[in-house]
């Protein structure tokens, strides 16, 4: 069994690609969740076909996100 590698200087951790990717993922899914909550507000402002299509896109994106959050799903 491999020992975990510890970071000597945590002030440099923000430079790691994995930390940057995780931060980008958090921002993306937070924005998508916010849009999901705000989506009913747009019902009167955009045409119905676009509203339905956008709702389907949001549903699929949230489903993909839920699947990818499962352990081992991204490997």
The pLDDT value given to residue 24: 80
pLDDT of residue 9: 67
Is residue 65 in a domain? yes
Whether residue 53 contacts residue 59, with contact meaning beta carbons closer than 8 Å, is answered with no
Q: Is residue 51 part of a domain?
A: yes
Q: Which domain holds residue 39?
A: 26-75
* Residue 66 belongs to a domain: yes
Cα dihedral value 64, 67, 73, 75, nearest 10:
10
Please give the average pLDDT of every successive group of 10 residues along the chain, which has 75 residues.
66 68 80 84 88 88 78 63
As a residue count, the chain comes to 75
Domain contains 56: yes
pTM of the model: 0.55
Q: Could you give the number of structural domains in the chain? A: 1
Contact 28, 21 (CB under 8 A): no
């Amino acid at each position: 069994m491999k020992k975990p590698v510890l970071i000597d200087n945590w002030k440099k951790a923000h430079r790691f690609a994995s930390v940057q990717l995780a931060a980008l993922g958090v921002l993306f899914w937070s924005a998508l969740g916010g849009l999901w909550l705000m989506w009913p507000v747009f019902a009167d402002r955009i045409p119905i076909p676009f509203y339905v299509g956008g709702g389907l896109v949001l549903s699929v994106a949230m489903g993909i996100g839920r699947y990818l959050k499962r352990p081992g799903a991204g490997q």
